[in-house]
Amino acid sequence: MVYYYCTVNFENDLILRAANGENVERVPVWLMRQAGRILPEYRAVRASLSGFKELVETPELAAEVTIQPVDLLGVDAAIIFSDILVIPDAMGLPYRMEKGVGPIFDTTIKSASDILKLKIADPYFDLKYVTDAISITKKELNGRVPLIGFAGAPWTIFSYMIEGKGSKTFSEARKFLYQEPEAAHDLLQKITDSTIVYLKAQIEAGADMVQLFDSWAGILPKVHYLEFGLNYLRQICDAVNEVPITVFAKGAWFAIEEIGRLNCNTIGLDWHTSSEMARRLIGKEKTLQGNLDPCLLYASNEELVLETKSMLNNFGGQKHIANLGHGVYPDTNPEKVKLFINTIKEHKF
Amino acid sequence: MVYYYCTVNFENDLILRAANGENVERVPVWLMRQAGRILPEYRAVRASLSGFKELVETPELAAEVTIQPVDLLGVDAAIIFSDILVIPDAMGLPYRMEKGVGPIFDTTIKSASDILKLKIADPYFDLKYVTDAISITKKELNGRVPLIGFAGAPWTIFSYMIEGKGSKTFSEARKFLYQEPEAAHDLLQKITDSTIVYLKAQIEAGADMVQLFDSWAGILPKVHYLEFGLNYLRQICDAVNEVPITVFAKGAWFAIEEIGRLNCNTIGLDWHTSSEMARRLIGKEKTLQGNLDPCLLYASNEELVLETKSMLNNFGGQKHIANLGHGVYPDTNPEKVKLFINTIKEHKF
């Protein structure tokens, strides 16, 4: 683990200090999917466009919706508005977003020869819209809070490229691991190589920390997760050491000890993994991020405040970045999100 | 736990003896979803009909496809061909099966007054097509192997009734637990009461053992699973004591100790829970069922045999019912299923 010292003077650098394991005067907070449908101001921007991808690919607008939750909700970090699937897109496998369905790949990866045709993403060319959005955001944030960059974990990206869409079982992607293990490794390596240069380009453009989202980690048997998931996360964590890095492997409770040994600063937790279990299995060194049940934002104010305080007390106030255990759900009332954030900001241990 | 003595002379009662914790000369095996799309003979029956529900509701045909895997695959038990959603249907909330989508409820439960309108299912009237299918199946099986009856667990049935369809997050159902906890308990109680009489009617009609499927257990935080999930499973396990009962709560690793204390004979395991972890947390008394990764049926014969034998050895040969860790996926080659089954039958410990 490398410790990072800020060269920018942030007005609020709580999250960077927490990620670095330094003592903080209060727990920093942000929400996965904070830039998005929960905000009417986001929906207003989105309504003027042809679709989700147009927003992702228009740097000025992506920057605008990235900053909205900083202004409107008071979070301690911005996260660049983008999508994990820009990587397959940049590798030569385009996707489209279908209303009410989610991402669809009209062409999927079926064989080793399909993988040969894919290129390593060139972030300075194919993903310039992301690095431009980061540069604009950084300028407009003007040091108020740090900016988080992100990418999908290779296994999760792989799943979409094989399956072609979301799935309850991802049985096509999982079949490929059993039937074509060498080709699977080739594809995972190409995704990993693309992700490393992509994250480095994000950092160059101004991302102050980065997060890897392994959304479908929980579907793999442990032995497969270690082989096809964790090995590639490890390569990325070892290669990207310019800024603090967070790994969020949703549902991968069975591999938490191994995840805890990655060369990263922060481990994101879903709402099933208690702070006690995480500390016991990960040890004392890493910062933990999470993990309120996102559905608690549907509860009464009293219950939400009580459970938020309980979460804070369980994590103990240091080496903790407060967040939900999953992305905030689109129909969440922004007032509840503000209550969650303000409860964290005002909490006395 | 109650021990059951067979009054029928089965040609093969391995699974009943294993469920009762008696010593067996070899490990019994069946597969969740064995009666279904993996078999061309099933697809032939299904093709002659208007839809899935017609098959569920036609006792002679449901019996026919129930027996197919006994004849064609050589499993040690039949499981009645039906659907967990017959319960909401019988309570007054109909569903339809949409091709490529799954079950859809055109009307969902939105409030306490919607719950008042629901009735307790009358299995002798509303679900006679299931008990008739069981009677026919029992007659046609003629003691070759035992017949398993089943129902959905109340939390899983509740999720569908609120959400109206499958979901990645079941956030509507989860929201209801936070916003209307009393109404949620009322609905779960109505489902539970319906399920108890339904399972008793299945047993009366000839089911030799029953299984509860809690497909969405893994989505709930532990505290909610204990309150809204386990409490109702417990009522069912305490009320249904005529035959051995199996509880399969997919993804509920965080509550496995509590599940292990239910008044049931067998605990079904998904592919994430190792035999070692299950035995350590559940203790020695219960029989364990599972838990090969269903995607191993896509692997080479060599790998499938190796991993099947490894699973058998890990469970140790007694108090074990071999199965997959999830329902068999529809595109699985029946030859692989046969290899899985035959490997289990021929294994020497």
Backbone angles phi, psi at B309, to 5 degrees: -65, -40
Read off the pLDDT of residues A112-143 as tens digits, 9 standing for 90 and up. 999 999 999 999 999 999 999 999 999 999 99
Read off the pLDDT of residues B44-99 as tens digits, 9 standing for 90 and up. 999 999 999 999 999 999 999 999 999 999 999 999 999 999 999 999 999 999 98
CA–CA gap between residue B232 and residue B158 (Å, rounded): 11
For tokens 């089911």, what's the residue? B207
- What was the pLDDT predicted at B100? 82
- What was the pLDDT predicted at A99? 86
Q: Do A168 and B169 touch (CB under 8 A)?
A: no
CA-wise closest residue to B152 among B96, B196, B109: B196
Please give chain B's pLDDT, 349 residues, in tens.
455 554 568 999 999 999 999 999 999 999 999 999 999 999 999 999 999 999 999 999 999 999 999 999 999 999 999 999 999 999 999 999 998 889 999 999 999 999 999 999 999 999 999 999 999 999 999 999 999 999 999 999 999 999 999 998 999 999 999 999 999 999 999 999 999 999 999 999 999 999 999 999 999 999 999 999 999 999 999 999 999 999 999 999 999 999 999 999 999 999 999 999 999 999 999 999 999 999 999 999 999 999 999 999 999 999 999 999 999 999 999 999 999 999 999 999 9
Backbone angles phi, psi at A29, to 5 degrees: -145, 140
Average pLDDT over residues A69-92: 98
Instruction: Looking at the complex, report in whole angstroms how far the Cα of residue A3 sits from the nearest Cα belonging to chain B.
Output: 34
- What was the pLDDT predicted at A9? 84
Give the number of beta-carbon pairs within 8 Å between A and B. 66
For tokens 């309504």, what's the residue? A47
> pTM of the prediction?
0.95
Read off the pLDDT of residues A226-282 as tens digits, 9 standing for 90 and up. 999 999 999 999 999 999 999 999 999 999 999 999 999 999 999 999 999 999 999
Residues of B in contact with A271 (CB under 8 A): 221
Read off the pLDDT of residues B4-59 as tens digits, 9 standing for 90 and up. 554 568 999 999 999 999 999 999 999 999 999 999 999 999 999 999 999 999 99
Residues of A in contact with B224 (CB under 8 A): 293
For residue B70, the one-letter residue type is V
CA–CA gap between residue B48 and residue A124 (Å, rounded): 57
CATH number, span A14-346: 3.20.20.210
CA–CA gap between residue A153 and residue A312 (Å, rounded): 28
Residues of A labelled catalytic: 33, 37, 46, 83, 160
> What tokens were used for B95?
């569903």
Collapsed DSSP state (helix, strand, coil) of residue A203: helix
- What was the pLDDT predicted at A44? 97
- What was the pLDDT predicted at B63? 98
Nearest-CB residue to A178 (from B253, B298, B326): B298
A290: left (phi over 0), alpha (psi -120 to 50) or beta: left
User: pLDDT band at A4, cuts 50/70/90?
Assistant: low
Domain boundaries defined on chain B? 14-346
Strand A102-104 relative to strand A245-249, pairing: unpaired
Nearest-CB residue to B169 (from A178, A296, A329): A329
Instruction: Looking at the complex, report in whole angstroms how far the Cα of residue A208 sits from the nearest Cα belonging to chain B.
Output: 30
Q: Do A222 and B272 touch (CB under 8 A)?
A: yes
Read off the pLDDT of residues A281-295 as tens digits, 9 standing for 90 and up. 999 999 999 999 999
> What is the number of residues in chain B?
349
Q: Do B175 and A295 touch (CB under 8 A)?
A: yes
Average pLDDT over residues A196-217: 98
- What was the pLDDT predicted at B8? 64
**Cis peptide before A291, with omega less than 30 degrees from 0?**
yes
